């Protein structure tokens, strides 16, 4: 049977996973009466909840006696490490673009990587049924994007299909015909994408995706670039330098058949397979026959730009909601994550109970924290900080991002003003149809931390912001942080409604009556710039004197609900987020008020780094 290996590339929410659903359905992968979940490739709970793809995943369909291996890739640049690894597994790419939005930053990011490795793209204009669709303009935008990314003449001569993945049709014209389903896309893939190139020699495979299975142990997925593989065959594992890091027998070879993996007796060159049986080999290592001494060179991965400190939860409520609280289990979990996710870096600190975790963006780190809390971990995390560098002359460099904001014209002034305060430079402003403008900025990553919520407030929830790492540039100076102080609890206990009611004029609260609080915990936002210590346990003093006036019922304003992402963006440098399976609390780094004051005085005197 012939083979084709393709990746589906698109910006988040342009319809990749829905397209894969239709390809699986129309290729006969499912029985007619089989019940299948929507977005079947989104297997992770967080992927289903948020409607985004976080992990790259492979599947396969059979069309006209040809097996097509399809890899669904994440659309967020934060998960770009996943994308960079899988591109060398495939020989072609379907670039999926929304007929109304056109190519967006994440499309640019992944397409740039695909063009670098020489993949020939197929452009699919999706969602042509949208009333504000503009397919002809979008095709021109895609061509301009490819040209800007230094595509070759062959890559610029890309075939185009129009359609609607949701309605389940593709055609060479935007008007149809719609009765052929996905057949035009399948036929185009077979014509346009070359069969996988097979090298001579014994078995070689580059590890691309890593996962663990309770029954099979460590499972590595990759494309066999040479030779063949059988169960119980002896192989060894080479790292990037060519050193042998592991050796053993392959216990099982699993091939992708539809949405399931099935054991096979033979893995052939060119096919994408998963193997088990080895205990140490990881992503970017070469799995090969013992005769092989030269490793396959993996694609270089872009460096992390944002770091956070993960630490053992040392608050008075530690250990009351989670069962995984020690530094050893937290470190083991982080190391396991870094092994499978090459975009993450974990490093130890001078204190044994904290670790510095570096990644591509706040979203990637927030997803890791959310997964850990669901697994029963308790930990404290700091505000995200950018990873700074120094050039050869000793000048400090910081990460700069390209920011694209689609906003109604009436709100554009507020957006430009706020971003200029955050040291952003406007690169482009153009109309994007429907009375909206598309603003393009180059902004320091530091200035964008915590800006999403402010943007939605300034634009009444109508703006859409997309970000993409642009490069390192000279440090742009101080950026103003949060302008308000916080309300800090002075006591340990349970919050009382009467006390919260009396404190409402001091600022909005973040807790409800009955919630457990402790000294040093942040219970609200102060209306002024300074921090204020308050007692939220103070009840009403009762006397035995009767009064003619009735006690009025306490009516509280609903508190601010802090999600994990919002909390990470909101806190200041001297504050932490306490994350447990049941709660997200905010607290000061130093819980004791006397220690806090000494630290502030030392910071002002310049005896400790800011």
- Answer yes or no: are the C-beta atoms of 608 and 599 closer than 8 Å: yes
DSSP class of residue 176 equals B
Task: Give the separation between CA 592 and CA 600, rounded to whole angstroms.
Answer: 12
Q: Is 166 annotated as a binding residue?
A: no
Contacts of 89 (CB under 8 A, 6+ apart): 5, 7, 58, 71, 208, 222, 223, 272
**What is the Cα–Cα distance from 108 to 112, expressed in whole angstroms?**
6
Token digits of residue 458: 């300034």
**Distance between CA 107 and CA 404 in Å, rounded?**
13
3-class state of residue 61 by DSSP: strand
- Known binder of ligand: residue 236? no
127 annotated as belonging to a binding site for a ligand:
yes
Token pair, residue 408, equals: 């109604």
- Which residues neighbour 543 within 8 Å (Cβ) at sequence distance 6 or greater? none
Of 183, 99, 85, 176, give the one whose Cα is nearest residue 141: 99
**Displacement of CA 375 from its chain's centroid (Å):** 19
**Rounded CA separation 439/391 (Å):** 30
Residue 453 token pair: 């919520």
E strands, 259-409, in order: 260-263, 267-268, 272-276, 286-288, 306-311, 345-348, 354-359, 379-382, 385-386, 389-390, 396-408
Sign of the dihedral through C-alpha 331, 337, 342, 345: negative
CB atoms within 10 A of CB 225: 21
* Residue 389 labelled as part of a binding site: no
Q: How far apart are CA 250 and CA 435, in angstroms?
A: 60
- Beta-bridged to residue 218, according to DSSP, are 212
The reply to whether 349 sits in an annotated binding site is no
Question: Is position 17 annotated in a ligand binding site?
Answer: yes
Altogether, the residues listed in the chain come to a count of 610
Residue 341 burial by Cβ neighbours in a 10 Å radius (0-12, 13-18, 19+): buried
E strand segments, 239-313: 244-249, 252-257, 260-263, 267-268, 272-276, 286-288, 306-311
Q: What is the CA radius of gyration of the chain?
A: 27
Residues 6+ apart with CB under 8 A from 216: 251, 252, 276
- Which of 64, 53, 62, 63 lies closest to 8, judged by CA? 53
Q: Is 66 annotated as a binding residue?
A: no
128 annotated as belonging to a binding site for a ligand:
yes
For the annotated binding site for GTP, the residues are 13-18, 126-129
For the annotated binding site, the residues are 13-18, 126-129
């Amino acid at each position: 049977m012939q083979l084709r290996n393709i990746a589906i590339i698109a910006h988040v929410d342009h319809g990749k996973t829905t397209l894969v659903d239709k390809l699986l359905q129309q290729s006969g992968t499912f029985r007619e009466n089989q019940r299948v979940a929507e977005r079947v490739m989104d297997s992770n709970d967080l992927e289903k909840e948020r409607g985004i793809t976080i992990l790259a995943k492979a599947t396969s369909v059979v069309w006209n006696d040809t097996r097509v291996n399809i890899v669904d890739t994440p659309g967020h640049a934060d998960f770009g490490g996943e994308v960079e690894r899988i591109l060398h597994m495939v020989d072609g790419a379907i670039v999926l673009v929304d007929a109304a939005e056109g190519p967006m930053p994440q499309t640019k990011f992944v397409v740039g990587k695909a063009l670098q490795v020489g993949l020939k793209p197929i452009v699919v204009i999706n969602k042509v049924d949208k009333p504000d669709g503009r397919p002809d303009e979008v095709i021109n935008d895609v061509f301009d994007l490819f040209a800007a990314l230094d595509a070759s003449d062959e890559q610029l001569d890309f075939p185009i299909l129009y359609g609607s993945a949701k309605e389940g049709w593709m055609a060479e014209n935007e008007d149809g015909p719609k009765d052929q389903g996905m057949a035009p896309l399948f036929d185009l893939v077979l014509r346009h994408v070359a069969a996988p190139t097979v090298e001579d020699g014994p078995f070689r495979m580059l590890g691309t995706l890593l996962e663990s299975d309770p029954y099979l142990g460590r499972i590595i997925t990759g494309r066999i670039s040479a030779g063949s593989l059988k169960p119980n065959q002896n192989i060894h594992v080479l790292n990037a330098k060519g050193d042998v890091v592991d050796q053993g027998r392959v216990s099982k070879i699993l091939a992708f058949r539809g949405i399931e993996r099935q054991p096979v007796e033979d893995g052939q060159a060119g096919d994408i397979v998963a193997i088990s049986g080895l205990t140490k080999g990881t992503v970017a290592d070469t799995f090969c026959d013992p005769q092989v001494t030269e490793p396959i060179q993996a694609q270089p991965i872009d460096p992390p730009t944002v770091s956070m400190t993960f630490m053992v939860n040392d608050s008075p409520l530690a250990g009351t909601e989670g069962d995984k609280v020690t530094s050893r289990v937290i470190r083991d979990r982080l190391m396991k994550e870094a092994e499978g996710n090459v975009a993450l870096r974990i490093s130890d600190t001078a204190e044994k109970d904290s670790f510095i975790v570096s990644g591509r963006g706040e979203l990637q780190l927030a997803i890791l924290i959310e997964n850990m809390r669901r697994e029963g971990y308790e930990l404290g995390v700091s505000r995200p900080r950018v990873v700074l560098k120094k050039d050869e002359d000793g000048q400090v460099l910081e990460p700069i991002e390209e920011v694209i904001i689609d906003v109604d014209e009436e709100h554009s002034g507020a957006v430009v003003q706020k971003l200029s305060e955050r040291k952003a430079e406007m690169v482009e402003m153009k109309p994007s149809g429907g009375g909206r403008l598309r603003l393009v900025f180059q902004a320091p990553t530091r200035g964008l931390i915590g800006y999403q919520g402010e943007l939605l407030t300034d634009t009444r929830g109508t703006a859409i912001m997309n970000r993409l790492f642009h490069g390192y540039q000279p440090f742009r100076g101080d950026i103003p942080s949060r302008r308000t102080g916080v309300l800090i609890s002075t006591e340990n206990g349970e919050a009382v409604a009467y006390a919260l009611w009396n404190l409402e004029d001091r600022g909005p609260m973040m807790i409800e009556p009955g919630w457990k609080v402790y000294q040093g915990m942040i219970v609200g936002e102060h209306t002024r710039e300074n921090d204020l210590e308050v007692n939220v346990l103070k009840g009403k003093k009762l006397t035995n004197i009767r009064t003619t006036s009735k006690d009025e019922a306490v009516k509280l304003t609903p508190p601010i609900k802090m999600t994990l992402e919002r909390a990470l963006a909101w806190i200041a440098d001297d504050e932490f987020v306490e994350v447990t399976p049941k709660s997200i609390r905010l607290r000061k780094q130093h819980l004791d008020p006397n220690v806090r004051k000494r630290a502030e005085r030392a910071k002002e005197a310049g005896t400790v780094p800011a």
